[in-house]
Structure 1
Amino acid sequence: MNAARIVVVGTGYVGLTTGACLASLGHTVTCVDVDTVKVARLSAGRVDILEPGLAELVARGLTGGTLSFVVGAAEAVRDADAVFLCVPTPMGAGGAADLRAVEDVVTEIADHLPPDCAVVTKSTVPVGTTRRISALLGRSDIAVVSNPEFLREGTAVDDFLGPDRIVVGSDTPGAAQWIADLYASLGAPSVVTDAASAELVKYAANCFLAMKLSYVNSIAELCERFGADIESVTEGMGHDRRIGRSFLKPGPGWGGSCLPKDTSALLRMSESTGFGFELLDAAIAENLAQRERIIAKIARAVGGNLADARIGLLGLAFKAGTNDLRDSPALGVASVLCAHGAEVTAYDPAVAEEQPGILVVDSAYRAAKGADAVVVLTEWPEFRRLDWHYMAESMHGDTVLDTRNLLDPDTVLDAGLSWQGIGRPRAVERVTPIVS
């Protein structure tokens, strides 16, 4: 199709990635934000989000004239063909999604949209939001479309430009297909449907992944109790095409900017219809239980009492490849440790700012200095390459708790330390070479 004039409201992970990637597809994109400092930095090509390939796409769009950044949505939308809403929809009171940012933008632009423009919700919004926006706009000449994003932090650009599918829904005939056509050059399968179905797809997908993670964490706990190895179990499961290999890695619990709020929002939506989604409720409860199990493992590693224990943490971001701390399970574990009186020192390659009660240092070796136990909480590959002999010399205790099953146990053992993973046999004795 011909290039479209697109306005993207919001320049967070979703908005900036959406804007830069749509510009790379040949559309003319204006990104809008209320933060004047942020707009100035982006206009100069300065991207503060840690996302591989994003800064390069922004620079290319700025240089090519297909991407620009402005303050103020009302003026920006006057000649738009489509306006993508990429503003936050955080967890609100009682766990439901907070739509105030969406509603504020819609109210701001309603009288400034040109006829036949499409308003597109890219943010994750509850079922019924498309119709709610239509009512707020009060304009029969404006189509409202749901086009949920499926971007993973750390791989957002690749996910946008190489998607598994494009999902678009609207109750206005033809509008959903028109938006789907914006992505035609990607060659991805398109699911073109009604608005409610498109809105529910995102929640259904995210909540399924959350339940899968809670399930594998429960299986990992059973592995420890039965003396089985979670890596062998998940390998056996993953070969089954009905199950697949993805999201079968145990850890300290799931978190980030999406899964916690989306599971809670779908639970609240279900309750509003009189349906008790007990399976999803159990997955959320299991996620909280996993954090408690991690805390209990750390307590046992330091003799049962966390008060005044010195704990070195490796990782604070919710996943490797990002500096995002939103609902990070690593940060959640750290906060509980602090609440129990532990002295917590942490290192994360992408996080430099201090966190409440936590001493954030600039190297893994400083985090380990004097530690009674070292805990791996984020799966940064560089932790595999640490000098564990030097780590052992720095530590006061000898326990390494690897909540991501990231490290090579033999490497840790050879340094004179004990290693404990999640759902794996505990390795406590140093490997002694046989001398003949």
Structure 2
Amino acid sequence: MNILIVGTGYVGTTTGVIFCEMGHRVTGLDLDDSKIQALQNGKLYFYEPGVEVLLTKHIQAQNIIFTKNTEKAIQENDVIFICVGTPKGTDGKADLTFVRNVAESIGQYMNTYKVIVTKSTVPVGTAELVTGWIASKQAGQIPFDVVSNPEFLREGSALQDALHPDRIIIGTESETAKSVMKELYQNFRCPIIETKAKVSEMIKYAANSFLAMKISFINELARVCDQLEINVNDVSKGIGLDHRIGPQFLRAGMGYGGSCFPKDVNALIQTAKENGHPLTILENVVKVNDEQPLFFIEKIKRYLDGELKNKTIAVLGLSFKADTDDTRESPSLKLIEKLAKEKAVIKAHDPVVKLDASQCRTVEETIAGADAVIICTDWEQYKQLDWKSLKPLMKAPLIFDGRNMLDPDEMKKLGFKYGGIGHF
């Protein structure tokens, strides 16, 4: 089957190479010259482990091509996946400008029956909007169907998630479109849920919001554990072994970030308000998440006699999580902003993210002369550091573990003062 992927970000590119793996031919469409140039040369312009290897493989096999020619791409492909961004607007709602532009282009250029698939995360009711936008630009009455088929990819694990999904959601009432979608996914071994488009769209928002809620729950609980001298990691393990709860997303830390959770939770909150049913639990989930880096800052200040001014603080990790270069809504950046307001001297490092020229190139350079080290991202290389040999570089042996990734007892044996999230 010939598949068009519109939007070549981490969702679009990952989706494209996975369909190549399943035997389909894929065209990636984007209007950004630099993105197309990089992808044509087999180079990702973003960081996502494993995807570049498959990209190179399928470029060489001529299973995937990239183009800026919108008209030709739409006319030569049977199934069109919309994978463009839906950023948070100033009103908290998802901005559907890019989705609408794609839909109108499809309506303008389509020449035969097409199945149009919204892969982007979109508000409930978007499939109906896309149908209207396409129809409004058609010169004739060429038939088409719109399907909601949300992605459930985790940044840093997108390839694994795409190859081995927990479930596939197909949201459409068209039997023809269902048949096409099931043919596309026939080689996947997971439950396939057939439902209406609105239900599919709600499933995506509900899933991300529930996971965000688990994160904020354990983070708020960690604050109480601090006061009661309880290790929150022990609590997480104890409740996570209950199969009704599960251990995933119960690691206390500095809060969630990235391109999905903050945007999707806020979008669902806005949808609920517009329909007269505020989601007060989710509103508090956002509040806890916004406060979490500030809570950690206050804990650090207590260790430093209540003063951060002129203190040299080494920040390890800038991405919102390990194995990605995404800094959108990153707790690290919120923490750095607060440190700057407190007039601390900030030195930062990340294995992948490069924000500016003043950023340190090595961990050693970052922690040299530091009054304290803060681990903000759970990169494996930080866990594997030889902290014993690094200790003499520091002005004071203070480590604040914002991801609870180090062993507190081991760090204390090495002579460090150690503070984590929910570690007294």
Deviates more, 1:147-156 or 1:325-334: 325-334
Quote the residue 2:28 is aligned against.
Answer: 31
Assess if the C-alpha contact under 8 Å between 1:176 and 1:193 holds in 2. no
Quote the residue 2:396 is aligned against.
Answer: 397
Correspondence list, 1:27-426, <5 A: 27-138=24-135, 141-354=143-356, 359-425=358-424
Quote the residue 2:8 is aligned against.
Answer: 11
**1:37 shift after superposition:** 2.0
Q: In structure 2, how many angstroms separate the alpha carbons of the residues matched to 1:243 and 1:75?
A: 49
Structure 2, unmatched stretches of 5+, are: 136-140
Assess if the C-alpha contact under 8 Å between 1:352 and 1:361 holds in 2. no
| AA partner of residue 352 (structure 1) | K
Secondary structure, counterpart of 1:31 in structure 2: strand
Assess if the C-alpha contact under 8 Å between 2:233 and 2:252 holds in 1. no
Assess if the C-alpha contact under 8 Å between 2:213 and 2:285 holds in 1. yes
Q: In structure 2, how many angstroms separate the alpha carbons of the residues matched to 1:305 and 1:231?
A: 28
Assess if the C-alpha contact under 8 Å between 2:254 and 2:331 holds in 1. yes
Deviates more, 1:41-50 or 1:374-383: 41-50
**1:174 shift after superposition:** 3.4
Assess if the C-alpha contact under 8 Å between 1:315 and 1:379 holds in 2. yes
Q: In structure 2, how many angstroms separate the alpha carbons of the residues matched to 1:314 and 1:119?
A: 43
Q: In structure 2, how many angstroms separate the alpha carbons of the residues matched to 1:186 and 1:45?
A: 26
**1:8 shift after superposition:** 0.2
Assess if the C-alpha contact under 8 Å between 2:293 and 2:331 holds in 1. yes
Q: In structure 1, how many angstroms separate the alpha carbons of the residues matched to 2:207 and 2:253?
A: 20
**For each residue in 1:322-371, what CA deviation from the matched residue of structure 2 results, as whole angstroms up to 9, or x when unmatched?**
1111111112111221122111101111123318xxx4111112111111
Assess if the C-alpha contact under 8 Å between 1:80 and 1:114 holds in 2. no
Deviates more, 1:6-15 or 1:290-299: 290-299
Secondary structure, counterpart of 1:185 in structure 2: coil
Q: In structure 2, how many angstroms separate the alpha carbons of the residues matched to 1:15 and 1:362?
A: 31
Q: In structure 1, how many angstroms separate the alpha carbons of the residues matched to 2:142 and 2:204?
A: 27
| AA partner of residue 369 (structure 2) | G
| AA partner of residue 276 (structure 1) | P
Identity of aligned residues (%): 38
Q: In structure 2, how many angstroms separate the alpha carbons of the residues matched to 1:329 and 1:156?
A: 21
| AA partner of residue 257 (structure 1) | S
**1:416 shift after superposition:** 2.2
**1:394 shift after superposition:** 1.4
Quote the residue 2:138 is aligned against.
Answer: none
Q: In structure 2, how many angstroms separate the alpha carbons of the residues matched to 1:199 and 1:286?
A: 26
Q: In structure 1, how many angstroms separate the alpha carbons of the residues matched to 2:108 and 2:173?
A: 21
CA change 1:169–1:248 in 2 (3 A) is same
Q: In structure 1, how many angstroms separate the alpha carbons of the residues matched to 2:227 and 2:179?
A: 52
Secondary structure, counterpart of 1:60 in structure 2: helix
**How many residue pairs end up in the alignment?**
419
Secondary structure, counterpart of 1:186 in structure 2: coil
**1:79 shift after superposition:** 2.1
Assess if the C-alpha contact under 8 Å between 1:207 and 1:262 holds in 2. yes
**1:73 shift after superposition:** 2.1
**1:23 shift after superposition:** 1.1
**1:308 shift after superposition:** 1.8
Assess if the C-alpha contact under 8 Å between 2:105 and 2:134 holds in 1. no
Deviates more, 1:205-214 or 1:138-147: 138-147
Q: In structure 1, how many angstroms separate the alpha carbons of the residues matched to 2:382 and 2:17?
A: 32
Deviates more, 1:43-52 or 1:366-375: 43-52
Q: In structure 2, how many angstroms separate the alpha carbons of the residues matched to 1:102 and 1:348?
A: 33
Secondary structure, counterpart of 1:192 in structure 2: strand
Q: In structure 1, how many angstroms separate the alpha carbons of the residues matched to 2:278 and 2:228?
A: 33
Quote the residue 1:430 is aligned against.
Answer: none
**For each residue in 1:279-337, what CA deviation from the matched residue of structure 2 results, as whole angstroms up to 9, or x when unmatched?**
10011011112121011112222221222221101111111111111111112111221
Q: In structure 2, how many angstroms separate the alpha carbons of the residues matched to 1:133 and 1:140?
A: 15
| AA partner of residue 254 (structure 2) | P
RMSD: 1.4
Deviates more, 1:150-159 or 1:103-112: 103-112
CA change 1:241–1:177 in 2 (3 A) is farther
Secondary structure, counterpart of 1:264 in structure 2: helix
Structure 1, unmatched stretches of 5+, are: 426-436
Secondary structure, counterpart of 1:176 in structure 2: helix
**1:36 shift after superposition:** 1.3
* Structure 1 moving runs of 4+ over 3 Å: none
Q: In structure 2, how many angstroms separate the alpha carbons of the residues matched to 1:353 and 1:290?
A: 23
Deviates more, 1:98-107 or 1:333-342: 333-342
